[in-house]
């Protein structure tokens, strides 16, 4: 995985914002779009309102997290390490090699 591949998936997905419908496990987006132009995810199993809230916020949260990762990686490129990699190097390597 790389930040560019994650960004590509975000750009190709239904645009946000998405929202969890009030008192319902349904998630729709983009907010304000005509019904025929919205993505609607409905959990018939009724697993949890928290799952719906997580999914509805995922695109926005992921985009913000990608911004932080890319800025951290860019700022960290100028660091020179002697010896073991630092925790940020390890975290960035784990992100880049994740499936």
- Helices 49-76 and 3-12: crossing angle, nearest 10°? 140
Query: Least CB distance from residue 66 to Zn ion, whole Å?
Result: 19
Within 8 A by CB and 6+ apart from 12, the residues are none
Q: Which is nearer to Zn ion, 33 or 75 (CB)?
A: 75
69 touches Zn ion (CB under 5 A): no
Q: Quick one: which of 65, 86, 93, 94 contacts Zn ion (CB under 5 A)? A: 86
Which part of the chain contacts Zn ion (CB under 5 A), choosing from 29-37, 52-60, 63-71, 87-95?
Answer: 87-95
């Amino acid at each position: 995985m790389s930040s560019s591949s994650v960004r590509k998936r975000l750009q190709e997905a239904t645009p946000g914002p998405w929202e969890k419908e009030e008192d319902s496990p349904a998630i729709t987006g983009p907010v304000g779009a005509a019904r025929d132009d919205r993505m609607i995810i409905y959990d018939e199993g009724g697993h949890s309102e928290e799952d719906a809230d997580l999914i509805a916020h995922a695109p926005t949260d992921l985009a913000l997290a990608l911004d932080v990762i890319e800025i951290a990686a860019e700022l960290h490129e100028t660091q020179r390490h002697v010896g073991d990699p630092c925790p940020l190097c390890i975290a960035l390597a784990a992100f880049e090699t994740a499936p």
